[in-house]
Amino acid sequence: MVNDGKRSGRPRAGEERLSREAILTAALRIVDDDGIDALTMRRLAATLKVNPMSLYHHLPNKAAVLAGLAELVFAGLELPDPGDTVPWDEQLKAAARAYRDGLRQHPNLALQVLSDTSAVSDVVVVTMEPFYRALDRAGLAPREVFEAANTLIDFIHGFSLGEASVRAETFELAPDLLTRVRALPADKAPTLTRIVTELGPDGLAYDFDSGFESGLSTLVAGLRR
Amino acid sequence: MVNDGKRSGRPRAGEERLSREAILTAALRIVDDDGIDALTMRRLAATLKVNPMSLYHHLPNKAAVLAGLAELVFAGLELPDPGDTVPWDEQLKAAARAYRDGLRQHPNLALQVLSDTSAVSDVVVVTMEPFYRALDRAGLAPREVFEAANTLIDFIHGFSLGEASVRAETFELAPDLLTRVRALPADKAPTLTRIVTELGPDGLAYDFDSGFESGLSTLVAGLRR
DNA sequence: TCCTTATCCATACGTTGTATGATTATGTAC
DNA sequence: GTACATAATCATACAACGTATGGATAAGGA
């Protein structure tokens, strides 16, 4: 109704304030800075100095914003292929490390990214190429390549999920686990109790990097059979 | 103010309509039936024929309801331990299968369960005992047992996440992937393109069960080194 | 008996996603 | 140029959500 100084209506050519990319970029910053719950259409509009309803001309709804963010993360992945000069297992590990690193850049988005199946877009498909190449060089049959790639990616997803979740919480997993195990009735989980106790607080101080390497080595060893 | 026929105030002894368990059970049913987004405090109260605010006497907020659901799922896990009469690798696989099966019972909750780190409760710890026992029997050092268990669990989590996500969507992954790959510029992902094409629609018809077994075998083979 | 506490209900508030429709500019067709 | 469909913005409004506050009633220990 009232137009109190602000220009309303369609902006002049070249003066558009919004675009799908601009919106998604702003959304990504909000999520990175303040978490996924902080992302509301109103706040998003506010940071873009725009009316909330304007967003809906570029994205159909909030779900599309989230899906767009997942897409953005995948698009930002850089999976440098060391090429065929290194052994296939090193090539495979390099791809896996790069994939994990990419997911780790936006921990607040991990959940969204990993559960958004519509993120099975071209970007994702291309992302998987280095895995396929390395596994192919390993001499696996097509079917084996397919399954091995899936297994590897599932592991990375599960690992990243844990990494993102724990990181979001207080960083107290190890001592917490130890305390909890000690409080258990002795016979509920004897082996676990013994092993955790033997490891002690220091041994339990879980280092994500070495945990990832360990899992990776196990998988590659299994593929090498 | 007005009490139109309904009894208000504290119910007589033994006539309480609510309890933490009753609420969580009702919540689980809603989530199983209609998905996690269908779970609102108001709907939950309605199915229990209770005022929404009554729930807050038994659970502090909605987050606690969700955490309680995660707990419920873990508590419902049955990890039958075949015992030490079978080889350690069969024992390990049995535990893994049972864990996956448990997570699969409530696919709409998978995301919540897997990302809820506060679900690291006694229940979860006890859940892991069979993994530890089998790995211990394999002759691994404590540190190795710890890392191997984590790796295995990460794989199961990633796998379950994928399984739950895809199942929630239309079940069109394989043809979709094929279509998408075919539409790619030929040189974007040559190996992937070749392998997917060789496999064809039938080869790609991904069977979750065999995919899981394949990953499991690879991991166990890797541990056996 | 009195008092605290537990369990319920009613009302209300702020926030959210978004439906509807107005306003203004763009780009195309005549 | 004059229409007209389309696109980009803003203003208003609504239903649904989580939950704060407070009142009613009964339970259970002092």
Confidence of residue B18 (pLDDT cuts 50, 70, 90): confident
Tokens 């979860």 map to which residue? B124
Residue B8 contacts strand C, CB under 7 A: yes
The tens digit of pLDDT for each residue in A11-32 reads 666 666 789 999 999 999 999 9
Q: What is the pLDDT of residue A24?
A: 97
| Residue B79 DSSP SS3 | coil
Q: Which two tokens stand for residue A190?
A: 């004897």
Q: What is the pLDDT of residue B202?
A: 77
The arithmetic mean of pLDDT across residues A43-54, rounded, is: 96
Confidence of residue B162 (pLDDT cuts 50, 70, 90): confident
Cα angle A185, A162, A223 (rounded to 5 degrees) comes to 100
Q: What is the pLDDT of residue B3?
A: 42
Expressed in percent and rounded to 5, the helix, strand and coil fractions of chain B are 70, 0, 30
Straight-line distance from the first to the last Cα atom of chain B, in angstroms, rounded to the nearest whole number: 73
Whether residues B195 and A221 touch (CB distance < 8 A) is answered with no
Q: Distance (Å) from the C-alpha of residue A32 to the closest C-alpha of chain B?
A: 18
The arithmetic mean of pLDDT across residues B25-44, rounded, is: 97
Q: Distance (Å) from the C-alpha of residue A50 to the closest C-alpha of chain B?
A: 29
Footprint of strand D on the protein (CB under 7 A): A 1-4, 6-11, 16-18, 45, 49-54, 56-58; B 3, 8-13, 39-43, 52-53, 56, 61-63
Q: A167 in contact with B at a CB cutoff of 8 Å?
A: no
Which residue in chain B is spatially nearest to A161 when comparing CA positions? B115
Q: What is the pLDDT of residue A32?
A: 96
Distance B87 CA to C16 C1' (A): 55
Crossing angle for the helix pair A208-224 and A88-104, to the nearest 10 degrees? 150
- Rg of chain A in Å (alpha carbons): 23
The arithmetic mean of pLDDT across residues A47-59, rounded, is: 95
* Residue B20 burial by Cβ neighbours in a 10 Å radius (0-12, 13-18, 19+): middle
What's the CA gap between B115 and A165, in Å, rounded?
Answer: 6
The arithmetic mean of pLDDT across residues B34-55, rounded, is: 96
Highest mean pLDDT among A3-7, A72-76, A82-86, A167-171: A72-76
Q: Which two tokens stand for residue A61?
A: 């709804």
Confidence of residue B4 (pLDDT cuts 50, 70, 90): very low
Residue B37 has pLDDT above 50, yes or no: yes
Straight-line distance from the first to the last Cα atom of chain A, in angstroms, rounded to the nearest whole number: 73
Q: What is the pTM of this model?
A: 0.90
From the list A111, A191, A222, which residue is nearest B129 (CB)? Answer: A191
Which residue in chain A is spatially nearest to B134 when comparing CA positions? A191
Q: What is the pLDDT of residue A10?
A: 66
Whether residues A157 and B156 touch (CB distance < 8 A) is answered with no
Q: What is the pLDDT of residue B121?
A: 63
Residue A64 contacts strand C, CB under 7 A: no
Whether the CB-CB separation of A64 and A118 falls below 8 Å is answered with no
Could you say which DSSP state residue B12 is in?
P
Residue B11 contacts strand C, CB under 7 A: yes
Whether residues A150 and B116 touch (CB distance < 8 A) is answered with no
Residues 49-88 of B with CB under 8 A from A: none
Q: What residue is closest to C21 (Cα–C1')? A: A1
Q: What is the pLDDT of residue A8?
A: 67
Which residue in chain A is spatially nearest to B141 when comparing CA positions? A195
Q: A42: which nucleotide lies closest, measuring CA to C1'?
A: C16
Q: What is the pLDDT of residue A119?
A: 57
The arithmetic mean of pLDDT across residues A68-81, rounded, is: 87
Whether residues A142 and B203 touch (CB distance < 8 A) is answered with yes
Q: B46: which nucleotide lies closest, measuring CA to C1'?
A: C9
Q: What is the mean pLDDT of chain B?
A: 86
Residue B133 has pLDDT above 90, yes or no: yes
Residues 115-144 of A with CB under 8 A from B: 115-118, 120-122, 125-126, 128-129, 132-133, 136, 142-143
pLDDT: which is higher, B118 or A95: A95
Residue B153, C-beta contacts closer than 8 angstroms, at least 6 positions apart = A158, B99, B128, B131
Residue A195 has pLDDT above 70, yes or no: yes
Nearest to B62 by CA among B31, B39, B83, B28: B39
Residue B18 contacts strand C, CB under 7 A: yes
Residue A92: C-alpha distances to residues A70, A84, B156, B159 (Å): 24, 11, 20, 19
Confidence of residue A5 (pLDDT cuts 50, 70, 90): very low
Q: What is the pLDDT of residue B20?
A: 95
How many helical (H) and strand (E) elements, i.e. helices and strands, does chain B have?
11, 0
Confidence of residue B167 (pLDDT cuts 50, 70, 90): low
**For residue B36, which residues of chain A lie inside 8 Å, CB to CB?**
none
The tens digit of pLDDT for each residue in A113-153 reads 888 755 556 677 788 899 999 999 999 999 999 999 999 99
Residue A1 has pLDDT above 60, yes or no: no
Residue A170, C-beta contacts closer than 8 angstroms, at least 6 positions apart = none
What's the CA gap between A215 and B48, in Å, rounded?
Answer: 46
The tens digit of pLDDT for each residue in B178-205 reads 777 888 887 778 898 899 888 887 777 7
Q: Distance (Å) from the C-alpha of residue B60 to the closest C-alpha of chain A?
A: 19
The tens digit of pLDDT for each residue in A159-177 reads 999 888 876 554 455 667 7
Strand C: which positions are within 7 A of a protein CB?
Answer: 6-11, 15-27
Distance A53 CA to D14 C1' (A): 15
Q: What residue is closest to C25 (Cα–C1')? A: A10
3-state secondary structure B105-167: CCHHHHHHHHHCHHHCCHHHHHHCHHHHHHHHHCCCCHHHHHHHHHHHHHHHHHHHHHHHHHH
